[in-house]
Structure 1
Amino acid sequence: MAVTTTGKMNTRISFWNKETVTNEETGGKVTKLVEKGKFFCAVKTQFLSELQARVGTKYEDTVTFILRESKSSKKIDMAWVLKYQDKDYEIVDINPDPERKDFLVIIGKRK
């Protein structure tokens, strides 16, 4: 059974990574967020029973994002920051689909 359909993947999210770059004005090194990629995804609705089951676990207050699995989505790193609706999310878990290789499920927790 498919996790979602591609027609529901209409929400834009982006991934960012902290990198040390050279400040063009001063020539010094600074750490800043650099965008690594943008993807369309489906955001899974959580039912009350799911919310209650997650209380007290690392999945409490998380959002599930479903992406189309591709070469670029396979490069997503747990250390990256996910941005959705102008809010930052820590990546809690990345679940590839080993059987069908259609979708990539990413669980994010708001920072």
Structure 2
Amino acid sequence: MKTTNMTERITFYSEGIGVVNGVPVNNKLTEEFSCWAEVPKVPLREFVNQSDQVGYRKSSPVFLIAFKQKKEIQTDWIIKWRGQDYEIISMDPDYRTKDIIQIAGKVVQ
């Protein structure tokens, strides 16, 4: 794995019950950890095949991170990247080489 391509900082948050100003609230985001990630660009053939769909790739990015992290990533966590929140759609850990984890995200509306 080339860590030199991991130039984007992402932060994982979990949702849960918390207290704000002495009042219990639902859906309070708690920071779990941050790590470096690579957000690969779209291959040209994938871009050409989707010419009938207009939109930005940034609304559904793929994050590549190192396999070993501080905590085990949960699928119900939220990823914050460049000021935007993303829900985890799928995770694909590379168990053979234990090199990277590929995480597909989608913008939280």
State the Cα distance separating 1:71 from its structure 2 match. 4.2
Q: Please list every run of at least 4 consecutive aligned residues from structure 1 whose deviation after the TM superposition is greater than 3 angstroms.
A: none
Q: TM-score, normalization: structure 2?
A: 0.80
What is the match of residue 14 of structure 1?
Answer: 11
State the Cα distance separating 1:22 from its structure 2 match. 2.8
Q: TM-score, normalization: structure 1?
A: 0.78
What is the match of residue 89 of structure 2?
Answer: 92
Aligned-residue RMSD, C-alpha: 2.2
Cα 1:40/1:71, change in 2 over 3 Å: closer
State the Cα distance separating 1:18 from its structure 2 match. 1.0
> How many residue pairs are counted as aligned between the two chains?
101
Please, which runs of 5 or more residues in structure 2 have no aligned partner?
A: none
1:36-91 deviation digits (Å, cap 9, x = unpaired): 110101111112432436x89xxx85211100111425x11111111111011111
> What is the one-letter code of the residue matched to 1:36?
E
Q: Does 1:45 align with 2:26?
A: no
Whole-Å Cα distance in 2 between the matches of residues 19 and 63 of structure 1?
25
Please, which runs of 5 or more residues in structure 1 have no aligned partner?
A: none
> What is the one-letter code of the residue matched to 1:15?
F
Could you tell me the percent identity over the aligned residues? 27
Whole-Å Cα distance in 1 between the matches of residues 2 and 103 of structure 2?
16
